[in-house]
Structure 1
Amino acid sequence: MTQQLILDLLPPSPASLDNFVAGDNDEVLDALRNLRPGRAIYLWGPAGAGRSHLLQAVATGGDALYFGREDTAAALKEIATSEALHYRLIAVDDVQHLDDDGQAALFTLYNRWREVAAADNGFALVLAGDRAPLAMPLREDLRTRLGWDLVFRLELLSDDDRAQALRKRAGERGLQLSPEVISWVLTHYARDMGRLSALVDALDRYSLEKHRAITLPLLKDLLASSQPTKESDNS
């Protein structure tokens, strides 16, 4: 099944701390809500645990920056070495993918962060990767900096947490998902809530389009209709 095509049916809701399903990660949410300039947080955990969601959620507004995997080392270096920084927060995602230039830029940014931590122009750092600081495939001096302040491991949601989140997401759209539908989704679909939320949104639209109630056959029809045709596979 082509899960990415399901996501393309409806864009996911903008990431926020309020729509992050915490599960066993309440301590992480509390730390991010109370983050102040001069502090740093490094988040790590498996794919689907919500690392990117949380970084995008805190890096909102004109006084915050988010650097994702697609951003260049040059852009990060420009920020790290600029004469004046007017940001309250800088977030750097997927640090495990940084090349040598990207690592050098992040090293410079960390040093800049520490120099101004107690000053009026201090800023917060939030970073994320797929493993603990000392296990990161990065230069040694950068690995140690990842652990300079707060470090949290993000835990995947349990099936009960995901089921509750699915029901809540559906309820927000005026829908009711049967236990059969929820059980099938939890068994056969993606684990992360971004994809699961997009699936609920797509189901809502598809049921309206087809004038049918949301049932397991309708869900399977939606997934089948989202698979590429043989012609597109061969193009």
Structure 2
Amino acid sequence: MIRFSEKQLLLDIKLQATPSLDNFVSGRNFELIQTLKNMLLGHEKERFIYVWGDSGCGKSHLLQAAVRFFIQSGEVAYYCPGEMNQLIQLSDGLCCVAIDDVESLDNEAQLVLFSVYNQFKEAGSSILLVSGSLPPMQLNLRRDLVTRLAWGLVYQVHELTEAEKIDALQKQAAERGFVLENAVCRYLLQHAQRDLSSLMIILDALDRFSLVHQRHITIPLLRKLLNNR
């Protein structure tokens, strides 16, 4: 029997779940998820997608999931969080480049992205995924780059509603064999990071925390876990 100490649980709560398209709760983003899946499987003609939305809506999850898909298939893919490496260039076997937080790119990095886009466009094989906080034409970037960002598919990533997050948490809890009351869900949403990835990490830690203390999951138990993080 494996026993978890409180210290282990509090460390585990900081870990990030491995992103994939299958563990992304789509909500109003169903069309985007289907388009991404088709693109990764080679069933989509368009090779460029720009996604935008508020912080915590899942943009990074989607980009990392796409890159992970290719890496797990033995292909070459890059995930770049708010930066561009000048060494990235079109080469045999390069399947995907994902640029997160495009508005963070400096002038030099914007030039690199502009060049990579043109190379990918000409070759027509590699996938380019870019995310930002605003629609393309509202970004404070080079105008020629902004134009390129608007040429492909553009999707807003909609954050889940509170009801959708509660439903997702309760379904995950049911799969683990316990009931998560509405009041506990609401307390969690009020006192923790509200993005679904963070909520699921806490749910996992809460499940094991309750086993360590051999107590039902209640608001006092959740409060104890959150206060001791």
Bin for the TM-score computed over the shorter chain: 0.7 to 0.9
- 2:193 is the alignment partner of 1:185: no
Q: Aligned with 2:146: secondary structure?
A: helix
- 2:70 is the alignment partner of 1:63: no
Moved more, 201-210 or 184-193: 184-193
The match for 1:46 among 27, 38, 54 is 54
Q: Aligned with 2:205: secondary structure?
A: helix
Write the distance in 1 (CA, Å) between the matches of 2:119 and 2:32.
Answer: 24
The match for 1:138 among 116, 137, 141 is 141
- 2:111 is the alignment partner of 1:107: no
Q: Aligned with 1:223: secondary structure?
A: helix
Give TM-score, length-normalised by structure 2: 0.86
Question: Once the 2 structures are TM-superposed, how far is the Cα of residue 154 of structure 1 from its aligned partner?
Answer: 0.8
Question: Once the 2 structures are TM-superposed, how far is the Cα of residue 9 of structure 1 from its aligned partner?
Answer: 2.5
Gaps of 5+ in 1: 227-235
Contact 2:75 2:93 in 1 (8 A): yes
Write the distance in 2 (CA, Å) between the matches of 1:187 and 1:103.
Answer: 38
Question: Once the 2 structures are TM-superposed, how far is the Cα of residue 65 of structure 1 from its aligned partner?
Answer: 2.0
Aligned identity (percent) is: 40
Deviations 1:146-182 (A, max 9, x none): 1111000111111111011111222232232112101
Partner of 1:116: 123
Q: Alpha carbons of 1:156 and 1:141: their partners in 2 closer, same or farther (altered >3 Å)?
A: same
Q: Aligned with 1:43: secondary structure?
A: strand
Superposed counterparts of 1:187-226, under 5 Å: 187-226=190-229
Q: Aligned with 1:91: secondary structure?
A: strand
User: What code does the residue aligned with 2:135 have?
Assistant: A
The match for 1:13 among 3, 7, 17 is 17
Write the distance in 2 (CA, Å) between the matches of 1:38 and 1:86.
Answer: 18
Question: Once the 2 structures are TM-superposed, how far is the Cα of residue 203 of structure 1 from its aligned partner?
Answer: 0.4
Gaps of 5+ in 2: 1-8
The match for 2:97 among 90, 93, 107 is 90
Write the distance in 2 (CA, Å) between the matches of 1:69 and 1:59.
Answer: 12
- 2:58 is the alignment partner of 1:24: no
Number of corresponding residues: 213
Q: Aligned with 2:87: secondary structure?
A: helix
Q: Aligned with 1:88: secondary structure?
A: strand
User: What code does the residue aligned with 2:166 have?
Assistant: A
Question: Once the 2 structures are TM-superposed, how far is the Cα of residue 139 of structure 1 from its aligned partner?
Answer: 0.8
Write the distance in 1 (CA, Å) between the matches of 2:76 and 2:132.
Answer: 19
